[in-house]
Amino acid sequence: TDPPKPTVTLQPSRTQIYSGETVTVRCEIQGGERAQWTYEWRRGQKNIHETSSEYRISRLTESHGGGYSCRATRSSSWTEWSDSTTLRVTVPSKPTVTLQPPWPQIYSGETVTVRCEIQGGEGAQWTYEWRPAKLNTPPTYSEYRITVTESDSGGYSCRGKRSFSRTEWSDALTVVSKPKAELRADRTAVPVGGSVTLTCSVNPSSSSSSGWKYYWYSDGKSYEPVRNEQISVSEGGVYSCRGGRGEPVYYTEDSESVRIDTTVSNRPVVTLYPNWSEIYRGETITVRCEIHGGDTEWDYEWEINSIKKPPNQNEYKIKSASSSNSGNYRCKGRMKSSQYKTTEWSDSVTLTVSDSKSYLL
């Protein structure tokens, strides 16, 4: 009778074997185990110089992959060629360090879960190696819950190992020092009957995926339990904000404060005494800020040519005028009883100081 057709088996018999591992390829003849066979091997159509029933391939590379078949001979009698058995050698992909929650950035002081993911390697029994080395406490897990420290500024990276196979190191997930919230106001005073929009952000990751909620403060006290990045305010005050996320909540540094005034309807008027818009060098004139309506007490602010000037009195007395006193004068009032309530700026009044009088002969 013809000898039986052999079978090629792999040990280990997994369909996915990684580069760097060791595999044994075996040619088995049912019922012919005791006979003295000589073997012939090939991978694809290419002959392999091997005559024993099995051979061992150490430190597999991609080039070892392919369809293996064998046949055997004794006493000038040959078996058929076996069916081809495919050896697939997988080069493990570069791992990725991911965060849980899936934020794009981590900050010093946060508590997060870091995870090492190897694409296509889910079924394999990997052990993991981490940087920084303090995470490599056996057994080396694919994920750790950690509180990030400033000393880990080199970031977190990982690689997978099994048998003699290992992946590349992943790219590092970097650590950024504690961020500071940024507060922007679309205007600095609430108009009569209106509101001011305040926006809080945490850079560089203000995207919706970054998980921030926002905490608002007015005059140092918690303002509203809203968690939106934008609020509208209609009351004057000193506002600040900070971001928070995670469990336990991780807070950013507080933003710089922004002062918001409330505009009242009283309108100031600048008048000149005497009421001359042109005076001459050396003359005396008083510039006065008048606010009508009620018996409110005011502090006063002055601007001359868009530059803020003292005093905070309601009048600006020029005893001996010079050309430097020429310019546009305007004022506004701030209530003494409520420092966040102000008037709008008055219209500007122009004062011109000329060098000398012209005399008629």
pTM for this entry = 0.62
% pLDDT > 70, the chain: 92
Mean pLDDT of the chain: 86
- Report the alpha-carbon angle 272-276-344, nearest 5: 35
Sequence spans of domains, the chain: 7-90, 95-176, 181-262, 268-354
Query: Which is higher by pLDDT, 134 or 171?
Result: 171
Placement of tokens 């992959």 in the chain: 65
254: nearest Cα among 276, 239, 269:
239
State the pLDDT confidence band at 355, using cuts at 50, 70 and 90. Answer: confident
CATH architecture of the domain with range 268-354 = Sandwich (2.60)
CATH architecture of the domain with range 181-262 = Sandwich (2.60)
pLDDT at 208 (0 to 100): 56
Q: Which amino acid is at 188?
A: T
Where does residue 43 rank: exposed (0-12), middle (13-18), buried (19+ CB within 10 A)?
middle
Residues in the chain: 361
pLDDT beyond 60 at 135: yes
pLDDT at 1 (0 to 100): 65
Just give the CATH number of 7-90: 2.60.40.10
pLDDT at 331 (0 to 100): 94
Neighbours of 178 (CB within 10 A): 14
- pLDDT tens sequence across 60-98: 888 898 999 999 998 888 899 999 999 988 877 889 998
pLDDT beyond 80 at 286: yes
How far, in Å, CA of 253 to CA of 217, rounded? Answer: 13
Q: Structure tokens of 358? A: 């012209």
7-90 and 95-176 in the same fold:
yes
pLDDT beyond 50 at 361: no
In CATH terms, the fold of domain 95-176 is Immunoglobulin-like (2.60.40)
pLDDT beyond 50 at 313: yes
Query: Which is higher by pLDDT, 198 or 139?
Result: 198
pLDDT at 40 (0 to 100): 94
pLDDT at 182 (0 to 100): 93
Contacts of 7 (CB under 8 A, 6+ apart): 27, 28, 30, 82, 83, 85
- pLDDT tens sequence across 13-52: 876 788 888 899 999 988 766 678 899 999 999 999 999 9
Query: Which is higher by pLDDT, 355 or 283?
Result: 283
How far, in Å, CA of 46 to CA of 310, rounded? Answer: 96
Residue 140, SS3?
coil
The enclosing H or E element of 303 equals strand 298-304
- Mean pLDDT check: name the lowest of 117-131, 238-252, 261-275, 284-298: 117-131
Q: Give the DSSP letter of residue 324.
A: G
How far, in Å, CA of 174 to CA of 152, rounded? Answer: 8
